[in-house]
Chains A and B, each alone.
Chain A
Amino acid sequence: MANDPLSQTFAALADPTRRAILVRLAQGQATVNEVAEPFDMSLQAVSKHLKALEAAGLISRGQDAQYRPCHFEPAPLEAATNWITTNQRVWTERYDQLEQHLKRMRHDQKKEKES
């Protein structure tokens, strides 16, 4: 796994539990206990997911030593979706231009034959 930010975001988002945690945090900050509530898993497992999300920059943790509430950080998610959208657009436009290029080639061939 490469260590660029995009790869880290993708790796962190690959897990359905982590995505569910993000959706929860997008509604408002929460403590580990609050995040863990709807999930059938140990606090320890939830903490591990939170660490992965924090490492990917998708959440931040508050300074309050006892509660350390988790905040959703949208920037990496935006970067990831932008990347997908851009990639799709690049290929579509590339093929539009290839179509034009093939048309020009046909046109040039026709001209050559005529002359």
Chain B
Amino acid sequence: MNDAPTELGELTITRIFEARPEVVFECMTTPAHLTHFWGPVGMSTPLEGIMIEPRPGGRFETVMVHDETGEKYPMRGVFMEFDPPRTFSFTEADVAGGMTTTIVFNDLGDGRTETVTHQTNVPPMLMSPEAQAGLETSFVKFDAYLATL
């Protein structure tokens, strides 16, 4: 029996943007751009909370602010790679024991860019549809158990 945490899980998000890699890369790594899109729906990312040191070992920090509650969600990353306009990666030491996000910018040659966003160190069992179904099953069973109490 192996007791150590096993293989690392991965999450991949692929998108195509109507802009050249240079432009998309710059948008992803410049505070003045990031502030416009970094926060998901219902959150903003104020310019003053963004710190980007564009080099390996440099800081990549943002603070997302919930529009309604004002609650703050800081991200504290450190760049591992910084290679414009091809790729950059950063590690967040305080998330799930150290999560690394790598973004690769593929030039599609027609003015468009495909970005592949890859996160590692996400537990594998939580990623696959089968695993999700398994969890749901166990929750259904748990509910059934609760009903018997």
Please list the residues of chain A having a beta carbon within 8 angstroms of any beta carbon in chain B. 1-2, 4, 6-7, 10-11, 13-17, 19, 22-23, 26-29, 41, 45, 48, 52, 72, 74, 77, 80-81, 83-84, 87-95, 97-106
Contacts and interface: CB of A to CB of B under 8 A. Distances in A.
| SS class, residues of chain B in contact with chain A | mixed
Contacts, number: 123
Contact of B37 (A6, A41, A81, A98): A98
A105 B24 CA distance: 11
B142 A2 contact: no
The A contact surface, by secondary structure, is helix
Interface in B7-36: 11, 13, 15, 17-19, 23-24, 27-28, 33, 36
B40 A102 contact: no
A95 B13 contact: yes
Contacts of B141: 23, 26-27
B38 to A, nearest CB: 6
